[in-house]
Structure 1
């Protein structure tokens, strides 16, 4: 049983990493259906600004705190979450399980050149996964939506970035009978080798967010959102 804590009008998973990974692996093993959202401060802010997007998130099966900003906010607001649960780690654990169980995996997102490298890399790392759909994220969303209804995928990874990835998942979720759906943001770029994850030291010091901001083309915009989020939390407000 996974416990949740309400923050910003969203139910966040409150669990240790080991408990959480065991739970989602069981879902995949049992061919159950689920919609996973990994929520960082930027995504939370978007949900507070956009009621329609917030409604989509509230329909998700699970929302995890992706980033130290959310867990730090939970402590400030008197509702401390047990741990940060990075989306890229959750997705990696799911791929490992999919490989062990020889599951069917569907991928959507990334630039065409990223997807080409991604499939090559994932096929080497996870040789027993069956890739039943691989679509880049440039105008292929409708085509992917049609495909997902027929391929019976067990795990669906969507790297369109927020809010597009959650909106796409919500648009197709009720059209299929199975599948664990998760939005993975920039994970395809990292796994394909087209961008680097924060060095281990940054991750250990809980500064992965700083590395992402400093290396992102829209770093200044992201920094402004992070400062706005911090200001919101300091005032202990849950709406804009």
Structure 2
């Protein structure tokens, strides 16, 4: 399905609902060609403005969803109505819910040693019958990559989730997705950490109030520097709109 896209600082983000994102992901998993879904929040988009490799990956991904209140705000501010936030964590949980009936095979790759195993146990408890066909932590050296790729290929997953952090996860998946041949790959950031109980997610009221970024900052003061990307993002989007409008006036 061709969704309307918002050009946010040079990154094209699909305007869609969670339900539509889940349906698209399911369609990708039903196919055989390797597909990539990226979950773009304000921090990722800001990083892409000075990381050409990441920018190219996002703009050639099969689907880029609006993960974050900032992305939704930017799209609406730039004139493309964005119906809702499609958080990567929630997208994955929806896919897990559908997985047992559809007999999906899922591989967890990333996070600190032991975390993916705990996330696997959580998924198996919450979604009886789910098939997590492999786990591998995200602490590895370049010489380990061949063995990791072989491990994933041997497991034959329909869905590969990589929790290596931005932009490492997107770059790793893009570099190896064709070789691995998994129908769908998604970079999922801290998803395994939340599932494993290593990191808390914001209370529902803070999620609804679009304050998850503040909650993360309160829990992890070291993130404050990264969270400064949010005000920079707002200023950048406002400047971008002025530039786009000026170009349109000048023909």
* Structure 1 stretch displaced more, 107-116 or 144-153: 144-153
The answer for the alignment partner of 1:194 in structure 2 is 198
Q: Select 1:158's aligned residue among 141, 157, 162.
A: 162
**Equivalent residue number for residue 167 of structure 1:** 171
Secondary structure, aligned partner of 2:36: strand
Q: Does 1:3 align with 2:7?
A: no
Residue 214 of structure 1, aligned match among 191, 208, 218: 218
1:49-60 → structure 2 map (5 Å cutoff): 49-60=50-61
Instruction: Indicate the residue corresponding to 2:246 in structure 1.
Output: none
SS of corresponding position for 1:157: strand
What is the TM-score of this pair, normalised by structure 1?
0.91
Spell out the pairing of 1:82-93 with structure 2 (5 A cutoff).
82-93=83-94
- Which structure carries more helix by proportion? 2
Q: 1:52 to 1:238 in 2, by over 3 A?
A: farther
Q: TM-score, normalised by structure 2?
A: 0.87
**Larger Rg over CA atoms:** 2
Q: Which runs of 5 or more residues in structure 2 are unaligned? A: 244-251
Question: Paired residue for 1:234, among 230, 238, 241?
Answer: 238
Instruction: Structure 1: give runs of 5+ residues left out of the alignment.
Output: none
Asked if structure 2 preserves the Cα contact closer than 8 Å seen for 1:4 and 1:11, the reply is no
- Please list every run of at least 4 consecutive aligned residues from structure 1 whose deviation after the TM superposition is greater than 6 angstroms: none
**1:39–1:103 distance in 2 versus 1, CA, 3 Å:** same
What per-residue deviation string (whole Å, max 9, x for no partner) do you get for residues 19-44 of structure 1?
22223223334566420000001100
Q: Give the whole-Å Cα distance in 2 for the aligned partners of 1:226 and 1:36.
A: 22
The number of equivalent residue pairs is 239
In the alignment, is the contact (CA less than 8 A) between 1:29 and 1:101 conserved in 2?
no
Q: Is the 8 A contact 1:8 1:238 kept in 2?
A: no
8 Å CA contact 1:11–1:62 kept in 2: the answer is no
